[in-house]
Amino acid sequence: MSAPDGHAELEEIEKYRFTVTFEGAPFPSLTVDEAPPTGGDAGPNPVQDLVMAVGHCMSSTFLYSLERARVPVAPIRTSVRATIGLNDRGRRRVRKLDVTISTYPLHDEDRSRFDRAVETFADFCTVSGAVREGVEIAHRVMPPSGPAPP
């Protein structure tokens, strides 16, 4: 059984490096970090996590659409490039994500169904849809559970 959707626990290892664990996941935890000079570059940074999530979701959603349409394709290869810029308050933000998915139908007779999947799949991608629509993020900071440190 795979991990439940959307629940991760992050625990600080040192400085900006964290271990990420997905509850009930059949795979090991992973390490995320920031790039130098802030972090040690021991794992993907937050922008890399975002481009990975969008690229993975769009690739999987496209593949699912092609499978439902019964269109066999060459292996999918996806490239995602983030453009970083400043917002109106001078804060660094991901301003744009460029996603390129490379594949083609293996049979010419599947071209119209392939083209239809290309036109419609992005609307079904959970992650890119949330990013595109500006998902609400609620946050809070609170002391850890358990006894307070001395």
The helix/strand/coil state of 12 is strand
Beta strands in 6-128 (DSSP E): 8-14, 17-22, 30-32, 77-86, 92-102
Cβ proximity of 11 and 19 under 8 Å: yes
Find all residues with CB under 8 Å of 48, minimum gap 6, and list them: none
The predicted structure's pLDDT at residue 148: 65
CB burial string 9-28: b at 16+ within 10 A, e below: eeeeeeebbbebbbeebeee
The predicted structure's pLDDT at residue 2: 53
Mean pLDDT by 10 residues, the chain (150 residues): 70 94 91 94 95 96 97 97 96 95 97 97 94 89 74
In the chain the domains, ranked by start, together with CATH numbers, are: 1-43 (no CATH), 45-133 (3.30.300.20)
**What region, left, alpha or beta, does residue 110 occupy, with left being phi > 0 and alpha being psi -120 to 50 degrees?**
alpha
